[in-house]
Amino acid sequence: MLTILKIECIGNPRLGFQPSWVRLVVSLADRGLNEQWLKGQSDYSHANSVGSRGVFKYYFLRENEIYHVSSPETWKRVDQYYCRIENGAILRMSIGEVIEWFAKRD
């Protein structure tokens, strides 16, 4: 089952400043986590003339995976969190819960 995560890409695309992304957490590493960048599907249908607001990316997330998400809320504030999908719901996780999840899995 896939769950869709929608994130607005707030920022200036010409300057490369769009702190919106999703990474799949693959495994634990010696110095943190191994993560792979995911490509989202972009939607410009509500974008303003310069693309700094109204651009959305859609990510398709699977159950039994852990994700690291960076989702801008305003020009100055970014919500960054870990999550997993359970029964179609996005459940936030602390870094401790992520480490524990991988420890149980391995």
Q: Where are the domains of the chain?
A: 2-105
Query: What per-residue string of b and e applies to 14-26 under the rule 16 or more CB within 10 Å gives b?
Result: eeeebebbbbbbe
Q: Render pLDDT for 34-86 as a digit per residue (tens, 0 to 9).
A: 999 999 999 999 998 888 888 899 999 999 999 999 999 888 889 999 999 99
Q: Are 74 and 10 in contact (CB under 8 A)?
A: yes
Work out whether strand 78-86 and strand 41-43 pair parallel, antiparallel, or are unpaired.
unpaired
Residue 39 confidence (pLDDT): 94
Residue 2 sits at the vertex; the CA angle it makes with 75 and 4, to the nearest 5 degrees, is 20
